[in-house]
Amino acid sequence: MNGNEVIESYVRDVARCLPRKMRNDVALELRALLGDELAAKAHAQGRVPDKVMAMELIKGFGRPAEAAARYHPRPAVIDAADTHHFLIWSLAGAVVLTVLSAVSQAGKVDSGLFLQWLGALVIVFALMGWRRRRSPGALRWKPTRDPHSIPRGLSLLAMVATL
C-alpha cells in the first residue's frame, strides 16, 4: 500500500461518516488537501511519499469520525439546554415509580420500569431537540397569561401524584 492508497482509504472512511449529500464535496476537498500536504512533506524531506509518511500525516487529522465531525458536527441526543429539565423529569419519574411499585408489590422495586421511563424521556427530548433544529420558531417561548397560575408541568405532576 502506497501513500496515495492510504489517503484514499482514509478519505473513504471519513466520507462514510457524513450525510450522503456532503460526501462527494468533502471527499474531493479532503483528498486534495491531504494529497497536497503529503506532496509538500515528501518534497521537504527529499523523498518519495510512502505509507509511513501518509500515516504520520493522517495521524494529525484524527480518526475518520473526528475529521467528519469537523465538516458536519452531529447534534447531541439531548440538547445542553434541556439537561436540567431532563434531570428533573428523570428524578420525578424515579420517585413516582418507586412509590407506586412499593405500594403495589410490597416493597419490590422494578428497575425495568425506570429504564423504560428513561428511554421514553430520551426519545421525547431527542424529538423536541430535532423539532427545534428543523423549525426554530416552532417551540419558542411564550409568556404566561397569569403570573400566579401553576405551570402546566407542575399541574400534570400533581395530577399524577394524586392518582
Single pTM value for the model: 0.59
pLDDT of residue 118: 92
Rounded mean pLDDT for each run of 10 residues along the chain, 163 residues in total: 88 94 94 92 87 90 92 88 92 85 67 86 92 80 68 79 75
Kindly state the DSSP code that residue 81 receives in the 8-state scheme. G
Using CA atoms, how far residue 63 sits from 9, 57, 71, 137, in Å, is: 12, 12, 13, 36
Give residue limits of the domains in the chain: 3-71, 80-162
- The C-alpha cell at 101 is 411499585
Q: Closest by alpha carbon to 86, among 52, 124, 51, 48?
A: 124
pLDDT of residue 119: 93
